[in-house]
Every structure is written in structure tokens, then in C-alpha cells.
Chains A and B, each alone.
Chain A
Amino acid sequence: MGTRNFHPLCLSLLLALGVSGSGCTIAMVVPDRFLVVQDEWGSKRALTPEESKLWVREFDDDSKGTLAFWSEALKADLIKSRGYTLVEEATVKDANGRAGMSMVLETTLSGRPVREFLAVFVVPGWFSNTIRVVEYVADKDAFTTEVEGVRTSLGTLH
């Protein structure tokens, strides 16, 4: 095999590795009553008729922080700095069996109680990790009825 044929092969291999590490498209089955309004590289958005919001995003992490590190960093910012109240905390798994952490947070905006379900996964990569974040935000009443569907959808995330 000559060197001329070797470079495309390396490029293909590297591309495959990069793609598998970063997850260029977010595959996730959204819960019932959610309509996907955006589905592009690293971001997927869905809405209910009442405008409960589901947003899945991916962020590059060159520092390669662990799940435990990012969990604590999130809590430090959301709870201590922004004043959210932590209602619940749990471990979750995606479609690949990869462990993540989830939180239910609550705050009051303009006199209205609002809750968020936030799940974080760390997907290891060759040169950098990918932080996959699932956020579901709704008024407290709607949240109570819809959150279980969002939790179930995590099992389809890959």
C-alpha cells in the first residue's frame, strides 16, 4: 500500500473516531405531547402545547472533567450562586447504559414557581469529552405531570 492511499484511510479513521466520540446528531425519542422544533448538530429542542421546554445540547470539554466534578460545579452555580432550590437528585442512565446525574431544581420567577429537570452525561472522546445536557423546564404544575415522561426518554438518548 502506498502512502497516497494511506492518508484517506487515516482521515476516514480519524473522522469515525471523532464522530463516535462527539455524537454529531442527538438521538433521543422525545416524550408524548412534545413536538421537535429544532434538530441540528449538538442541539435538539422540543415543546409541548403549553410550551414546556425540552432542550438537549452537547458541549465540548477539552479539560475532560469527570461526571462527579461537573455535578458539583453545576450545583455550586445553580444552587449557591443562582439561588435555585434542589428538590431531588438521582443517577440516571442513557440508551448505552452510560451513567449520568440528574437534578430537579425549583425557583420562583415573577411569583410563579418553575421547575427544571436537568440531566448530565459525560461522553468520553479521543481529544476531548462531550458533556451532554438534557434540560426540561416547565411551570410547577405541568412539570409534575410531564417529568416522568422525560425521565423515560433518557433511556433512548445516545
Chain B
Amino acid sequence: MMRASLRARLSPILTVLVVGQVAACASVDKSYARAAYAPEAEEAYRNDGDSFESESMPATVARAGLFAADSGAADMAPPPPPPPPPRATPLPGTTTTTPADEKVAEASRRLVIYTGSMALLVPQTEPAIEAFLAHVQSVGGYLQNRSAASITVRVPAATFFPTLDLVRKSGQVTDEQISAADVTKQVFDMELRLQTAEESRKRMLKLLESATRMEDILAIEAQLRRLTDEIEGMKGSLRTLGDQIAFSTLTVSFFANAPAPNPYPTRTQSRFPWINQVGIERVLSEF
């Protein structure tokens, strides 16, 4: 009898929550038609939307077990997946876009994290490190890590390649590696998920205002905590990515002496006999 009364009390709240989620899905769905994106991004979001639209809300909620009669607020199954993100507005001044236009627009929106490492032979390491650090600070960068012969700095992304050129002119480069990670889609996905989560939280706050029963309030607050954690996590990730995009990382190792020769040369002998007779080792051994 207690269970039956509990179900009776919870069913209005259940109805309100279901209606709220359905309304959110409907508003998101309309925005699909307004945006223009690169083909693969558009397809990805369309697939997300399709998979979401194929599920009925009550079935999703029931599977999540959020309002299962015999589960408490502290023992909830995973919540339903958020609705698909809305598409962004089309580029200003364009009504129809060709694939070429979309590719150009997409390239200009690329977000890339650059990382580089170089090994440099210089006459003296200490002055070279100081000169490099002074340059980094002059372009708005900062020191991240420093050891006896190696220095890691963060420089504004726009100055990354000019700084590499400067390092190349400062000595003899004995090793160089540069990597570029395109995080455009990752950032875009996260921003949209953040927007969706924040909208869900706003709806939960409105529901909380109208809730009167303690069980309903506890359930909504648990959802709110989850959403808040999710939102804060995504904001933190976006801040980290933003920092990595804005500031590139460069590690330069300075050497006063050249490294030992490669013990496994690509070819052991030159095809030209006289060249095999010259060189440091030959002079030292055959003089």
C-alpha cells in the first residue's frame, strides 16, 4: 500500500519531467534546419539526432531507472543521454554554400594545438638560453620549465613558427620535431554539450521551484548536482583546450658539443672511394 501511494505521488512529477524533456528535444530538433556545416560534421550530428529521435522519452527514462519506485535518490541508474546539440547559425551573408565554400570556412575555423621540440648546438649554452628566454618574454610568452641545458616555454600560437625560425638561426639544429593536433571538432562538440547541459539545468531549476514533495526535491537536486558537475567539468576542459590552443609549447635543448655520430649509418661506404678516405675518424686513425 505504501508503494502504491508513493507511485501515485511521483507520477505527476514524472509527467512534468517527461514533458520538459520532450519540449527540449523539440526545440533542438527545429534548429537542425537552420545551420550550414561541413558535410562530415553535419552527418555526424544528423546521426546523433536520428539515434536520439528513434528512442521514446518514456522508454529512455524508464531504462535509466531514474524514477524507479524502489530506488532511492542516492541509488539511481545512469541518467538518459542529453538531446542532440543544436546546429550553429549559417555563415553571415551566405544563403547557399558549396562544398568548396564549406571547406574554406571550415579551414578558417580550425583550432590547432602546436607542440615542438628542438635540439640546438651553440657555442655556449647559458647565454643562448638567456637570449631565447628574453625573446619568448618579448613576444608575450612565458617559461614553463627549465633545467641545465633544456628549456620549455609557452608562446602565443601566432608567434610559434616565427620563434622556431629564430631558434634555427641561433645555432645548428641537430634535431627538430613539430606536431599539430586539430581539436576543432573536440572543442565544438564540447561547447554544444555544455550549452545543452546548461539548458537542462535551467529547466531543472524551474522544476525545483514548483516541486513540493521531499522525494521530488531530492530527485531533482540529484539531477542538478550531476548536471553541475558535468558543466563544470566541461568548462574546465574547454579552458584547458583554449589555453593549449592560445599558447603553443616549445622545448629547446641546448648543446655546446655535437652528439656522438650515428652508430648505425644509413650506408656504410660512399660510392666515391676518395670520400671514404676523408673524415675525422680516418684522419685520427690513419694519419
Report if A and B associate in a common complex: yes
Interface residues of A (CB under 8 A from B): 45, 47, 53, 55, 57, 59, 61, 73-74, 77-78, 80-87, 105-109, 113-114, 116, 118, 131, 133, 135, 137, 140
From residue B169, how far is it (CB to closest CB) to chain A in Å? 14
Within the assembled complex, what's the spacing in Å between the Cα atoms of A109 and B172?
A: 19
**Is B258 within 8 A of A135, CB to CB?**
no
Q: A85-B258, A87-B172 are in contact. Are A73 and B270 (CB under 8 A)?
A: yes
Q: List 13 A-B contacts (CB under 8 A).
A: A74-B275, A77-B270, A77-B275, A81-B268, A82-B261, A83-B260, A83-B261, A105-B280, A106-B121, A108-B260, A109-B280, A113-B257, A133-B278
* Chain B residues whose C-beta falls within 8 Å of the C-beta of A47 in the assembled complex: 287
Which of A59, A107, A131 interacts with B258 by CB under 8 Å? Answer: A107
Q: How many A-B residue pairs have CB under 8 A?
A: 89
With an 8 Å Cβ cutoff, the count of chain B residues facing the other chain is 27
Top 5 nearest A-B pairs (CB, nearest first) are: A83-B262, A83-B261, A113-B257, A85-B258, A59-B274
**Is B280 within 8 A of A114, CB to CB?**
yes
* Chain B residues whose C-beta falls within 8 Å of the C-beta of A133 in the assembled complex: 274, 278
Judged by DSSP, the binding face of A is: strand
Task: Tell whether B39 is near chain A: CB-to-CB under 8 Å.
Answer: no
Q: A77-B275, A82-B265, A116-B279 are in contact. Are A53 and B284 (CB under 8 A)?
A: yes
Judged by DSSP, the binding face of B is: loop
* Chain A residues whose C-beta falls within 8 Å of the C-beta of B266 in the assembled complex: 80-81
From residue A40, how far is it (CB to closest CB) to chain B in Å? 14
Could you mark each residue 250-278 of chain B with 1 if its beta carbon is under 8 Å from any beta carbon of chain A, else 0? 00000011111110011110101011111
Task: Tell whether B281 is near chain A: CB-to-CB under 8 Å.
Answer: yes
**Is A53 within 8 A of B261, CB to CB?**
no
Task: Tell whether B174 is near chain A: CB-to-CB under 8 Å.
Answer: yes
From residue B273, how far is it (CB to closest CB) to chain A in Å? 8
**Is A116 within 8 A of B280, CB to CB?**
yes
Within the assembled complex, what's the spacing in Å between the Cα atoms of A31 and B150?
A: 39
* Chain A residues whose C-beta falls within 8 Å of the C-beta of B261 in the assembled complex: 82-84, 107-109
Within the assembled complex, what's the spacing in Å between the Cα atoms of A78 and B272?
A: 13
From residue A145, how far is it (CB to closest CB) to chain B in Å? 14
Task: Tell whether B283 is near chain A: CB-to-CB under 8 Å.
Answer: yes
Q: A55-B283, A82-B279 are in contact. Are A73 and B257 (CB under 8 A)?
A: no
* Chain A residues whose C-beta falls within 8 Å of the C-beta of B259 in the assembled complex: 83, 85, 107-108
From residue A80, how far is it (CB to closest CB) to chain B in Å? 7
* Chain B residues whose C-beta falls within 8 Å of the C-beta of A80 in the assembled complex: 266
Within the assembled complex, what's the spacing in Å between the Cα atoms of A59 and B174?
A: 31
Which of A57, A83, A106 interacts with B257 by CB under 8 Å? Answer: A106
**Is A85 within 8 A of B174, CB to CB?**
yes
**Is A137 within 8 A of B284, CB to CB?**
yes
Within the assembled complex, what's the spacing in Å between the Cα atoms of A61 and B275?
A: 11
From residue A5, how far is it (CB to closest CB) to chain B in Å? 40
7 further contact pairs, Cβ within 8 A, besides A77-B270, A77-B275, A82-B261: A73-B272, A83-B260, A85-B259, A87-B258, A106-B121, A109-B280, A114-B280
From residue A69, how far is it (CB to closest CB) to chain B in Å? 10
Within the assembled complex, what's the spacing in Å between the Cα atoms of A116 and B266?
A: 22
Which of A73, A105, A107 interacts with B260 by CB under 8 Å? Answer: A107
Within the assembled complex, what's the spacing in Å between the Cα atoms of A61 and B274?
A: 9
* Chain A residues whose C-beta falls within 8 Å of the C-beta of B258 in the assembled complex: 84-85, 87, 106-108, 113
Which of A85, A113, A114 interacts with B172 by CB under 8 Å? Answer: A85
Within the assembled complex, what's the spacing in Å between the Cα atoms of A106 and B274?
A: 20
Within the assembled complex, what's the spacing in Å between the Cα atoms of A74 and B281?
A: 15
